[in-house]
């Protein structure tokens, strides 16, 4: 809960993009509020070691990194509030931002609401979430000690999650719909050199076997080349198939691409509405790194500052 309702800068989201923006705007003496969202700290809070954020020779844990960023922003006066935005009136300034708990007005908005893990949309997927199905290896890996599990995906996330899961599981099978990985060479090598990991190529999951009572018992899978359908015995299913940007509240208000990523002007974080900026994974479907999110958060803050000055 915040004691006031009007801010110069309102930041939606508290991952690296949001917190970097807040560090810059609050340090520039702009009254800044950060609405933390349902997952305070963002996706880094469900990751383990971050090895590629400059300044941490030995790496840093994701949750620790975002916690430090938050403290740094708070040191300059940024106000962090747990609230979830349900509606934004972008038609007039000051902008009105309605949340589950409170309503705020602000002179500028920095959207840094990030992205959410994508799932396959299988028939009983939602029922089985937490009963053998997961979209977060670091959250749930612990529950799969000595079990045989499947990771779906062929990108860096799939490799990272599979390697992480070998800390617990007896065996991890990476099911990928093609026979070529999208993941970077270094991540591929880590997975391929791990003796607990096997690859199942050209394969998609069609159904989940099991129930909440008995847990996950297997998968119905299909070979994308031969069309052959078969059963695959496994006790866990982890999705690592990318992310969807959290931009629903801006639908029909801001320009977006066909996947829902907010379109920003070239070399800028400006959206199609003056005073509204977008930073991090909501506008970046390409790089999606903590450091690029932080970088665009910085850009958004500087652009918001210039906008407010003018």
Residues that bind ligand NAP (CB under 6 A): 120, 152-158, 160, 177-178, 182, 204, 240-243, 287-288
Residue by residue, DSSP assigns 173-229 as EEE-SSSS--S-HHHHHHHHT-TTEEEE-SEEEEEEEEETTTEEEEEEEEETTT--E
The verdict on whether 106 is a catalytic residue reads no
Shortest distance in whole angstroms from residue 176 CB to ligand NAP: 6
Shortest distance in whole angstroms from residue 239 CB to ligand NAP: 9
Among the listed residues 80, 62, 56, the one whose alpha carbon sits nearest the alpha carbon of residue 70? 80
The verdict on whether 298 is a catalytic residue reads no
Q: Rank residues 142 and 287 by Cβ distance to ligand NAP and give the closer one.
A: 287
| DSSP at 18 | H
3-state secondary structure of 58: coil
| Dihedral angle over CA of 182, 259, 300, 253, nearest 10 | 180
Catalytic residue among 49, 89, 136, 207: 136
- Contact present, 122 and 146 (Cβ < 8 Å): no
Instruction: Give the integer Cα–Cα distance in Å for 274 and 278.
Output: 11
Instruction: Report the 10 Å Cβ neighbour count for 226.
Output: 8
Within 13 Å, how many C-alpha atoms sit on residue 128's CB side? Answer: 27
Shortest distance in whole angstroms from residue 252 CB to ligand NAP: 26
Q: Rank residues 156 and 305 by Cβ distance to ligand NAP and give the closer one.
A: 156
* Residue 88 structure tokens: 């934004």
Instruction: Give the integer Cα–Cα distance in Å for 252 and 286.
Output: 23
Q: Rank residues 172 and 240 by Cβ distance to ligand NAP and give the closer one.
A: 240
| Minimal CB distance residue for ligand NAP | 155
Shortest distance in whole angstroms from residue 47 CB to ligand NAP: 8
Paired sense of beta strands 32-35 and 79-81, if any:
parallel
Catalytic residue among 139, 189, 248, 274: 139
Q: Rank residues 244 and 273 by Cβ distance to ligand NAP and give the closer one.
A: 244
Shortest distance in whole angstroms from residue 157 CB to ligand NAP: 3
Shortest distance in whole angstroms from residue 307 CB to ligand NAP: 29
144 φ, ψ (degrees, to nearest 5): -115, 35
Report the DSSP beta bridge partners of residue 277: 110, 270
Q: Rank residues 25 and 134 by Cβ distance to ligand NAP and give the closer one.
A: 134
Catalytic residue among 83, 107, 140, 284: 140
Q: Rank residues 222 and 288 by Cβ distance to ligand NAP and give the closer one.
A: 288
Catalytic sites, residue numbers: 136, 139-140
């Amino acid at each position: 809960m915040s004691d006031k309702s009007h801010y110069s800068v309102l930041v939606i989201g508290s991952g690296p993009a949001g917190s970097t923006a807040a560090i810059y705007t609050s340090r520039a003496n702009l009254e800044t509020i950060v609405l933390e969202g349902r997952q305070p700290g963002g996706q880094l809070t469900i990751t383990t070691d971050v090895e590629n954020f400059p300044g941490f020779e030995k790496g840093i844990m994701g949750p620790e990194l975002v916690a430090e960023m938050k403290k740094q922003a708070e040191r300059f006066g940024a106000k962090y509030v747990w609230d979830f935005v349900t509606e934004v009136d972008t038609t007039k300034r000051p902008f009105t931002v309605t949340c589950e708990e409170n309503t705020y007005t602000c002179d500028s908005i920095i959207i840094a609401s990030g992205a959410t893990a994508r799932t396959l949309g299988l028939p009983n997927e939602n029922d089985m979430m937490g009963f053998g199905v997961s979209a977060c290896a670091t959250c749930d890996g612990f529950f799969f000690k000595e079990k045989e599990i499947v990771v779906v995906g062929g990108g860096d996330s799939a490799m990272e999650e599979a390697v992480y899961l070998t800390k617990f599981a007896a065996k991890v099978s990476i099911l990928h719909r093609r026979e070529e990985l999208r993941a970077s060479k270094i991540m591929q090598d880590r997975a391929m050199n791990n003796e607990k990991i096997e690859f199942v190529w050209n394969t998609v999951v069609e159904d989940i076997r099991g129930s909440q009572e008995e847990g996950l018992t297997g998968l119905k899978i299909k070979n994308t080349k031969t069309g052959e359908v078969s059963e695959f015995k496994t006790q866990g299913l982890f999705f690592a198939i990318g992310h969807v940007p959290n931009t629903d509240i801006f639908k029909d208000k801001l320009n977006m691409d066909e996947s829902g990523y907010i379109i920003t002007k070239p070399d800028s974080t400006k959206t199609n509405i003056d005073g509204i900026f977008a930073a991090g994974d909501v506008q970046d479907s390409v790089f999606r790194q903590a450091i690029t999110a932080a970088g665009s958060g910085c850009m958004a803050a500087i652009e918001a500052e210039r906008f407010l000055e003018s």
